[in-house]
Structure 1
């Protein structure tokens, strides 16, 4: 699923829409915090969000029912990946270091996470063709050995 960038206004509206999941324009207008935008403005934003692939519509009589398509978790992942790639060379270590330096997160908070990393080594693939794909150097050695044997014969 390709995720497109949102403007600040679109993102603010999406935060409200993610809480609904499925909704009508009327519900958005009722729940929108003050100062409430004009209904035409919200309707335009909903149309843009449909075009960007964040919402889908289903016509029910004369009105549309909207449904969020992109989950908030996917959008968070997209934003964090973009941030990481553009400002931290794709390094999670650099992000965490920056967050500690800027006092966004403390070392104690990191310790409180009790992150358990699986230190078990992954098992070798059971299928021979998987070994050939994953370990091509081993196969080259075998083929060289076979060629040497043929030459000796």
Structure 2
């Protein structure tokens, strides 16, 4: 499922705290300069896409994510990798390293990840 950058800001609010009503989401995004109507439109789009559930509570709806943040990240990275790097991870990591550089901590984490992945493949 494709989630736009604007929709992702709404999802981030709900991944942090859910369920929330539309007014609470609007309040959490007060620095965005979006109108109440814009936030409600984004909530409706996300509900239509199946990313959010809208459950009635009195005269309002409470929204909660139907997809986990990590599942969304995996899907988004997979689509990006497929589109730009033919689905291959190594060229993507090399591109990120070349463009942004890697700290010693980043390198240590990547080495640990490779060791873990190699251990899992040997089983």
TM-score by length of 2: 0.83
Alignment partner of 1:45 is 2:51:
no
Distance 1:90 1:44 in 2: 33
Q: CA deviation at 1:8?
A: 2.3
Distance in 1, Cα, partners of 2:90 & 2:13: 32
Residue of structure 1 in register with 2:54 after alignment: 57
* Cα distance change of structure 1 residues 82 and 58 upon mapping to structure 2, 3 Å threshold: same
Secondary structure of the 1:90 match is coil
User: Which of the pair is proportionally richer in helix?
Assistant: 2
Which of 3, 7, 14 is the matching residue for 1:6? 3
> Contact 2:26–2:36 at 8 Å: present in 1 too?
yes
TM-score by length of 1: 0.68
Q: Which residue of 2 aligns with 1:133?
A: none
- Whole-angstrom distance in 2 between the partners of 1:25 and 1:70: 18
Task: Indicate whether 1:84 and 2:76 are aligned.
Answer: no
Instruction: Return structure 1 stretches of 4+ with deviation > 4 angstroms.
Output: none
Higher relative contact order (CA 8 A, sep 6+): 2
Asked if structure 2 preserves the Cα contact closer than 8 Å seen for 1:10 and 1:45, the reply is yes
Tell me which structure has the larger Cα radius of gyration.
1
Q: Does 1:27 align with 2:24?
A: yes
- Structure 2 residue runs of 5 or longer lacking an equivalent are none
